[in-house]
Structure 1
Amino acid sequence: MSEAELENEEVGLLVEQEACNRWHLDHDANNGDDPRHYDATATTDTPVTGIVAGALVEVKGCAEWISDGSARRRGRWWFSKSNHDALLDEGGYYALGVYDSDEVEVHRVVLINARAVDGILADRWSTCGKQHHSKESAQLPWPEVLHSGLDVGVSD
């Protein structure tokens, strides 16, 4: 595993742990054999988000800012179409985290129904190359969710 992949995996686990702590989720890091991809399960009903105990949650993290050579842009979450469709079928949720890549500190984690994310992603799916595990994927810059007015549970 490359250093960048290891760093991404470590940051991903940090975002998953933070989401679980903030939203009362049970972390399930070993679901690789399950055809439904998810990272956690809700342990309690949370009226502010509408989530019910037992709901599946996929956790995603992105850096607040990304450098693109001499410029920088807002970070983006990546979505796999097959995983997204499976989460939709399960009535699941996303916990979407934004972290500071310099301090490796999670600043925000929102909890949002996968159906709401589906509406945003509808026209964004594109075909991936052979190196990807998914045939289709989409990117979503974090401000499009956090500044959208969508019904999300926000934990800063």
Structure 2
Amino acid sequence: MEHRQINENYRAIAEKLIAQEPALAYIKDSRVKITYLESDSTKKDGRERLVLGECEKVAAKNRWAIPSDFTITLFRNNLVGLSEEQIKTVMFHELLHVGIEPGADGEETYSVRKHDLEDFKEIIDRYGTDWAGAARKAE
């Protein structure tokens, strides 16, 4: 059974990225709330590749338990062998999924953004094309 728990270290990494990275300024300038979690599960995608992290929008019906707009979960077992810099890159990648749009009434609307080519270019420009080399070797 999977266990997820709040991880303050991941929150600190994310807050530093949000404060420093121009590509994440839209998060810094918003009212969005994000909870940072760590999972002990070994998650894989439909093609049996390791999933390092995921960003999920918190459903309105679950807000009583998770008082946030999004959760970002990193999968501890899948991060084995990654450096701090590589984990930071995973977090940056997940933060790019946080979608925020200003509403007509001044309220923000949230969604999980899919990546486009600019998002991948952002990661490659900052961290290189083989930023997750250790993670690929673990597969």
Same fold (TM over 0.5): no
Bin the TM-score by the shorter chain.
0.3 to 0.5
Kindly indicate which of the two structures has a greater share of residues assigned to strand: 1
More helix by share: 2
State TM-score, norm by structure 2.
0.38
Larger relative contact order, structure 1 or 2 (CA cutoff 8 Å, min sep 6):
2
